[in-house]
């Protein structure tokens, strides 16, 4: 066994022994203090984000169009700018005619998606908060957005199969919710559509507030799911499971692997 393998195994063993001790000693603080929990996730669960990483640009044959973000995100729970840029670029490149956002809150990501839809494109936003969408409600973008108030289950139940080209899931991030929201929308997705999840990131493990990594690790055993490098977004397309779509995804994975061969300082991948 090489020294590196031994060190890795020892590290894994120490972390697995430390986890119950940390839970026992700091259980209340882990629930109460998000920064403390975040630090604990980084230290004790460093390999939690295990999905294959790919570069967004490698998933498209044509160059991904430039985008502009008119309203920078403010306040808690708004997706960071890097994720808004990635979402907007996917929309600009994929040109979905009908898109769905689950969990919209102030509407920053909704505005970024709507601004890059094709001219006849429509975005449906769903949120239990009756005030959702304050960012775009008085702007020209509102004409492209159908704002629905209610739970994800009730608002998606009557949609026909394969009726959306793109779905963005960013509501309740707990494991059970990530699973049930995903199950509610998988049938709504067209075979060449895009399913994107927010908060594929290493927080909320101890409190259970974010179970997206655990749920997607499971889902990736049945369907191709990848992590968009440098973002907190994971992606799935039904067409990646076979034929030309599968070959496209493999090319993107190969491109990423080749780039990483150069070593940490030569990689072109945005951090982390």
Does residue 103 belong to the site contacting ligand SAM (CB under 6 A)?
yes
How many whole angstroms separate alpha carbon 200 and alpha carbon 228?
9
Task: Please tell me the number of Cα atoms within 13 Å of 185 on its side-chain side.
Answer: 29
* Integer angstrom CA distances of residue 75 from 78, 79, 261: 6, 9, 39
- Cis peptide bond N-terminal to 272, omega within 30: yes
Q: Residue from 151, 207, 220, 267 that binds ligand SAM (CB under 6 A)?
A: 151
**Count of residues in contact with ligand SAM, rule CB under 6 A:** 19
Inter-residue contact 104 to 125 (CB < 8 Å):
yes
Does residue 270 belong to the site contacting ligand SAM (CB under 6 A)?
no
Does residue 269 belong to the site contacting ligand SAM (CB under 6 A)?
no
> Of 62 and 76, which has the nearer Cβ to ligand SAM?
76
Nearest-approach distance from CB 104 to ligand SAM, in angstroms: 5
Does residue 201 belong to the site contacting ligand SAM (CB under 6 A)?
no
The residue whose Cβ lies closest to ligand SAM is 103
How many whole angstroms separate alpha carbon 271 and alpha carbon 181?
29
How many whole angstroms separate alpha carbon 66 and alpha carbon 51?
27
Does residue 204 belong to the site contacting ligand SAM (CB under 6 A)?
no
> Of 43 and 81, which has the nearer Cβ to ligand SAM?
81
CA 109 to chain centre: 12
Helix (H) or strand (E) holding 7: helix 3-32
> Of 155 and 249, which has the nearer Cβ to ligand SAM?
155
Token output for 241? 């499971």
Q: Residue from 41, 108, 189, 228 that binds ligand SAM (CB under 6 A)?
A: 108
For binding to ligand SAM (CB under 6 A), which residues are involved?
77-79, 103-106, 108-109, 126-129, 132, 151-152, 170-172
């Amino acid at each position: 066994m090489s020294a590196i393998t031994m060190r890795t195994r020892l590290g894994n063993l120490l972390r697995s022994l430390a986890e119950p001790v940390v839970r026992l000693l700091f259980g209340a603080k882990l629930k109460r203090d998000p920064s403390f929990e975040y630090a604990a996730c980084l230290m004790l669960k460093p390999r939690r984000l295990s999905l294959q990483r790919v570069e967004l640009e490698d998933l498209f044959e044509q160059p991904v169009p430039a985008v502009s973000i008119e309203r920078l995100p403010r306040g808690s729970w708004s997706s960071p700018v890097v994720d808004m840029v990635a979402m907007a670029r996917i929309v600009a490149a994929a040109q979905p005619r009908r898109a769905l956002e689950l969990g919209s809150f102030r509407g920053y990501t909704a505005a970024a998606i709507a601004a890059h839809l094709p001219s006849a494109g429509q975005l449906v936003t769903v949120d239990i908060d009756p005030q959702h969408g304050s960012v775009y409600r008085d702007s020209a973008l509102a004409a492209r957005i159908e704002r629905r108030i209610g739970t994800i289950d009730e608002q998606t139940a009557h949609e026909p199969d394969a009726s959306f080209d793109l779905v963005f899931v960013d509501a309740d991030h707990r494991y059970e919710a990530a699973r049930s929201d995903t199950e509610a929308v998988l049938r709504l997705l067209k075979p060449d559509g895009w399913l994107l999840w927010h908060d594929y990131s290493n927080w909320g493990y101890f409190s259970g507030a974010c179970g997206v990594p655990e749920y997607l690790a499971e889902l990736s055993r049945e369907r191709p799911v990848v992590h968009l490098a440098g973002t907190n977004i994971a992606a799935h397309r039904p067409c990646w499971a076979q034929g030309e779509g599968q070959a496209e995804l493999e090319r993107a994975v190969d491109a990423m692997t080749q780039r990483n061969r150069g070593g940490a300082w030569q990689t072109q991948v945005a951090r982390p």
